[in-house]
Structure 1
Amino acid sequence: MSDETGSGPPSTTAQEWLAGFAAVIGAPAPDEDTNEALLNLAGAAAHDSERIAAPIACWMAGVAGVDPAEALERARQYVSKRAG
């Protein structure tokens, strides 16, 4: 089991943690397709800029109410345009 410093092995899976957190914040847990889109969105942001952009890009999509798959498509378009 992980200690308070997080140096031990995780005590739960990501899916279990997300389901529990979803219950705490009163939101549905993301399904597998949504998880994949969010991870890919995070990857697009992290690979095209500093890594810290990854979680913040996902937060921005959520605040804007943009579906993760649509946010991923828009991020890919943005990255492509920047590569020019």
Structure 2
Amino acid sequence: MSDETGSDAPGTTAVEWLAGFAEVIGAAAPGAEVMNELLDLAGVAAHDSERMAAPIACWMAGVAGVNPAEALERARRYAADRPR
């Protein structure tokens, strides 16, 4: 059963999980500012299209080497300017 954070693992926070995952993949865990930018980017993608766009947009930004703040700005611009 999930707790109030949606986690099935009691006591494991998102920050703890991401720190452990970062070790597994040989990367640095993001800080609070980057995490907030990524969450905002995910929110723009999900609200402007379908929910599945959220994680994939974050992945695309990472693969493209675009930092989260710049990706967020570009996503906001795209959402505001794209043809409907």
Smaller-chain TM-score bracket: 0.7 to 0.9
Amino acid in the other structure paired with 2:30: P
Give the count of matched residue pairs. Answer: 78
Alpha carbon RMSD of aligned pairs, Å? 1.3
Give deviations 1:50-72, integer Å, cap 9, x for gaps: 10000000000000010000000
- The equivalent residue for 2:68 is 68
**In structure 2, C-alpha distance between the alignment counterparts of 1:45 and 1:8, rounded to whole Å:** 25
Alignment of 1:1-84 (within 5 A): 7-9=1-3, 10-11=9-10, 12-82=12-82
Give deviations 1:15-69, integer Å, cap 9, x for gaps: 0000000000000000000000000000000000010000000000000010000
Deviation at 1:82, TM superposition (A): 1.9
Structure 1 runs not aligned, ≥5 long: 1-6
User: TM-score scaled by structure 1?
Assistant: 0.87
Amino acid in the other structure paired with 2:80: S
Deviation at 1:8, TM superposition (A): 3.9
**In structure 2, C-alpha distance between the alignment counterparts of 1:33 and 1:50, rounded to whole Å:** 25
Deviation at 1:83, TM superposition (A): 6.2
Q: Secondary structure at the match of 1:50?
A: coil
Structure 2 runs not aligned, ≥5 long: 4-8
